[in-house]
Structure 1
Amino acid sequence: MKEFDLKKRTKSFTISILNLVDNLPMKSSTRIIANQLGKSGSSVGANYRASLRARSDNEYLSKMNIVLEETDESHFWLEVLQELNVVDQKVLNELLNEANELTAIFVTTLKNTKSRINNK
């Protein structure tokens, strides 16, 4: 996948997460989730962009690991919302699918980068 496409895709994921958070019902439990999901979901796109400005392979790996962690955390909170059944399941399924796909992309990227570094 091209760098520009992934920049767009991670930004779109961030926007979708923030839209979901804005539409959660106002309950104590969903406020907690909204805060956590808003932070992790918005961090995916921001940290991916930061990874593209890395000054070394090691810095890139470090930043991409953060991206992976934030994507996984977002996935966790989406699963919690799914089990609480407080929002449209179709919207959640789309976001869960996107989180899964992004996770797979980031894992592959990390593996390929580590392999390239080790083969230098």
Structure 2
Amino acid sequence: MKRNVILEKSYLFGIRTVKLFLYLKKCGVDEVLIKQLLKSGTSVGANVEEAVGASSRRDFIHKLSISYREARETIYWIKLLKDAQILE
């Protein structure tokens, strides 16, 4: 099977998101806030995985666009946590 760099990187991004979630949870950060980060950060790779198994080119593009939006949402949550001085 041919190597899929996007699939690999999005999976690793999900792992890093889970680790960040667990760290922030351990630090006592509000769970509602960090669950948003967890959901968006882990869905990036899940949607890329779905795109790989898409039934058509149109379906592939649709699933990748969802993944892109989830990645942007994750960036938002990370910026928010940083600017709120929860992450340094």
Both structures adopt the same fold (TM-score exceeding 0.5): yes
Q: Quote the offset at 1:3 in angstroms.
A: 5.1
**For structure 1, which runs of at least 5 residues remain unmatched after alignment?**
90-120
Structure that is richer in helix per residue? 1
Which residue does the alignment assign to 2:70? 70
Task: Give the distance between the partners of 2:51 and 2:16, measured in 1 at CA.
Answer: 21
Task: Give the distance between the partners of 2:66 and 2:78, measured in 1 at CA.
Answer: 18
**For structure 2, which runs of at least 5 residues remain unmatched after alignment?**
none
Q: How many residues align?
A: 85
Runs (4 or more) in structure 1 with deviation over 4 Å come to: none
Task: Give the distance between the partners of 1:70 and 1:3, measured in 2 at CA.
Answer: 23
What pairs up with 1:10-21 in 2 under 5 angstroms?
10-21=10-21
Q: Deviations for 1:65-86, whole angstroms, at most 9, x for unmatched residues?
A: 1101100100000000111111
Which residue does the alignment assign to 2:23? 23
Residue identity (%): 27
Which residue does the alignment assign to 2:48? 48
Task: Give the distance between the partners of 1:64 and 1:22, measured in 2 at CA.
Answer: 27
Match of 1:86, SS state, is: coil
Give the alignment's TM-score, normalised by structure 1. 0.66
What pairs up with 1:1-120 in 2 under 5 angstroms?
4-24=4-24, 25-28=27-30, 31-87=31-87, 89=88
Q: Quote the offset at 1:8 in angstroms.
A: 1.2
Give the alignment's TM-score, normalised by structure 2. 0.88
Task: Give the distance between the partners of 2:84 and 2:23, measured in 1 at CA.
Answer: 15
Which amino acid is 1:71 matched to?
A: A
